[in-house]
């Protein structure tokens, strides 16, 4: 079993839809939770960052962390064609030497 | 800031040849990471450095892979000899030590390697 599980998709939605992307994990030591967005033929770039449990909102994006269920989510409201990309969840422990573990990424297509 | 710089952006080589990938991290960052990304395996950490010292190379697939960081502004990933299964996109990333949002890794544009 992988430490981080993420459905690779692809996920196709119409413009304006609410998108829900999710990851589950097995390591209870993870404290930092991130979502990266990767456009085709580009490197990943940080989209959202959350420490421990709770919600964080940034514009149309909301990140949720439920440590009791070992489950994290990214919601995109009013999705746009420019949101079409691969979204990777990432997690890290609370010790400096811990590696960041990435999910496989979910490919999202937003149709105009 | 120019961000993380990688070269070459594309590399096509024949099986058995030596391949050297290069990375210049963001100035002042003290962590540097090398990743490999494929459709089958996703984004895999190969090795990372802290203050130019290799900390964890457990992700390096075989002895054919080696990485160096001779100074704070330059790192190389070498594959010798290369094999077709090494074909992938190789990313370099850097970050600044600290807590909070400093956990952010900044990725370069990647090197797309094809071994024939």
Lowest mean pLDDT among A9-18, A46-55, A77-86: A46-55
Decide if pLDDT at A31 tops 70. yes
Query: Which residues numbered 65-94 in A keep a CB inside 8 Å of some CB on B?
Result: 88, 92
Probe site for chain A from B29, B37, B94 (most A CB atoms < 10 A): B37
Lowest mean pLDDT among A31-40, B52-61, B82-91, B93-102: B93-102
Return the DSSP state at A82.
G
Which residues from chain A sit within 8 angstroms of residue B42, using beta carbons? Answer: 88, 102-105
**pLDDT, tens digit, 9 for 90 and up, residues B16-63:** 999 999 999 999 999 999 999 998 888 999 999 999 999 999 899 889
**For tokens 């992988």, what's the residue?**
A2
pLDDT of residue A84: 98
Torsion of CA B79, B84, B87, B93, to 10 degrees: -20
Decide if pLDDT at B108 tops 90. yes
- B109 with A104: Cβ contact below 8 A: no
Neighbours of B116 (CB within 10 A): 10
Decide if pLDDT at B101 tops 80. no
pLDDT of residue B100: 62
Average pLDDT over residues A91-111: 84
Decide if pLDDT at A96 tops 60. no
Rounded to the nearest angstrom, the minimum Cα separation between A103 and chain B is 7
Decide if pLDDT at B82 tops 90. yes
Decide if pLDDT at B92 tops 70. yes
Token reading at B3:
């961000």
């Amino acid at each position: 079993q992988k430490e981080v599980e993420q459905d690779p998709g692809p996920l196709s939605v119409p413009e304006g839809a609410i998108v829900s992307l999710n990851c589950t994990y097995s390591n209870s030591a993870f404290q930092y939770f991130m979502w990266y967005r990767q456009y085709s033929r580009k490197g990943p770039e940080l989209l959202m960052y959350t420490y421990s449990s709770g919600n964080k909102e940034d514009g149309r994006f909301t990140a949720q962390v439920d440590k009791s269920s070992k489950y994290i989510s990214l919601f995109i409201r009013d999705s746009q064609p420019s949101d079409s990309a691969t979204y990777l969840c990432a997690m890290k422990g609370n010790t400096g030497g811990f590696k960041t573990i990435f999910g496989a990424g979910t490919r999202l297509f937003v149709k105009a | 800031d120019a961000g993380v710089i990688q070269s070459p952006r594309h590399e096509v080589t024949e099986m058995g040849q030596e391949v050297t990938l290069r990375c210049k991290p963001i100035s002042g960052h003290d962590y540097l990471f090398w990743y490999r990304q494929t459709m089958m395996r996703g984004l895999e950490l190969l090795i990372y450095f802290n203050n130019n010292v290799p900390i964890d190379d457990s992700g390096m697939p075989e002895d054919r892979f080696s990485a160096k960081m001779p100074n704070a502004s330059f790192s190389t990933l070498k594959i010798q000899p290369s094999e077709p299964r090494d074909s992938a996109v190789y990313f370099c990333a850097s970050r600044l030590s600290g807590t909070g949002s400093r956990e952010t890794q900044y990725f370069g544009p990647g090197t797309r390697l094809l071994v024939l």
